[in-house]
Amino acid sequence: MTGLLPGLVYVFLFPGFIFLVMYALFFESLDRKITARMQNRVGPPIVQPFADFIKMLGKEVIDVDGVDRKIFDAAPVVALAAVMTAFLYVPVLGVSPFGFQGDLVLVLYLLTIPTVVLFIMGWLSRNIFSSIGGVRVITQMFIYEVPFFLALLTPALMAGTWSISEIMLWQQQNMWFMILQPIGFIVALIGLQAKLERPPFDIPEAETEIVAGPWTELTGRRLALMHLVKDVSLVTGCALITALFLGGPVLPWAVTPAWLGIIAGFCIFVVKTLALLLVLSSIKVATGRIRIDQLNTIGWKYIASASLLQVAIVLIINYRWVST
């Protein structure tokens, strides 16, 4: 990308921050609609998340005694900035103009920041429910993060690159990693569900046990921004898995003129991310919350083992390719 103006448009307008916020709120609306339909309900109107976000921004912010207000004001902004920055490295209109060798590692690092922020806010809120929820957040992160990272790194091992855009282009010339690495794809979806704390991994904010966990003391714009962080993380996670396992927005054939290929690629990107949302929503509806000890057993015994198995398979395949 050459020129300052196209760069600013990409970052702030499309497919940057403004598009990401709108698409994230639409994702939440569609998620709630899918959930309602699966439970034989009508569900809220499509514009409900937009209305809720605007309403919460105008609500009063209540400060807990003894809590540093500056930290609580800055934490949601830091979390939102981290996820939005990660989205810039994910291919949406073809190869990302900000991509570089190793951007996959950076994106995975940025996606962990909202979890750490939620833990800090829960721990510092001086509320017993928030503190317990914060401990559950960080405990759960240590369980799912390892298999999630391993699953997302296996496409890089097979493609021989740590660039998300180059991994996507490798699939254009060969085959989707969803087909080549089905175990890694399944583990990635489970890890994303856990990272977003969606059922059955909504342990940190279990309403029937600890009110809302680390969210208990969040009010006003802080609550609005943290909800937006969760929605943006859902879009970014689906976009990342789309690029790494489903070929991203790149078409398997050349399209002329170029602008038509870009539009077609973006439409494919939207369809693929919506398909992943349908899978995650189905998991959300079909499962009930598990206990933290059950997650520990399932995470380390089965999910981590599956991701290690996928890594071993990839290494064997790479060795055979090199040998031949």
Tens digits of per-residue pLDDT, 167-180?
999 998 888 899 99
Residue 1 has pLDDT above 60, yes or no: no
How many other CB atoms are there within 10 angstroms of residue 173's CB atom? 9
Cα–Cα–Cα angle for 265, 269, 272, nearest 5°? 135
Checking 118-122 for CB contacts under 8 A at 24+ apart, the result is: 118/79, 118/204, 118/214, 118/226, 119/214, 120/71, 120/75, 121/72, 121/75, 121/214, 121/217, 121/218, 121/226, 122/204, 122/213, 122/214, 122/215, 122/216
- Among the listed residues 76, 84, 69, the one whose alpha carbon sits nearest the alpha carbon of residue 117: 76
Q: Name 59's Cβ contacts closer than 8 Å, sequence gap at least 6.
A: 219, 220, 221, 223, 224
Calculate mean pLDDT across residues 59-84.
87
- Rounded-to-integer distance, Cα 73 and Cα 78, Å: 9
Residue 294, token pair as written in the block: 């059950």
Work out the pLDDT band at 292, boundaries 50, 70, 90: confident
Calculate mean pLDDT across residues 189-195.
93
Residue 2 has pLDDT above 60, yes or no: no
- Rounded-to-integer distance, Cα 128 and Cα 123, Å: 9
Locus of tokens 């009930």: 288
Q: What percent of the chain has pLDDT over 70?
A: 97
Calculate mean pLDDT across residues 52-76.
85
- Rounded-to-integer distance, Cα 151 and Cα 307, Å: 6
Calculate mean pLDDT across residues 248-270.
80
- What is the pLDDT, as a whole number, of residue 95? 85
- Rounded-to-integer distance, Cα 305 and Cα 296, Å: 13
Residue 5 has pLDDT above 80, yes or no: no
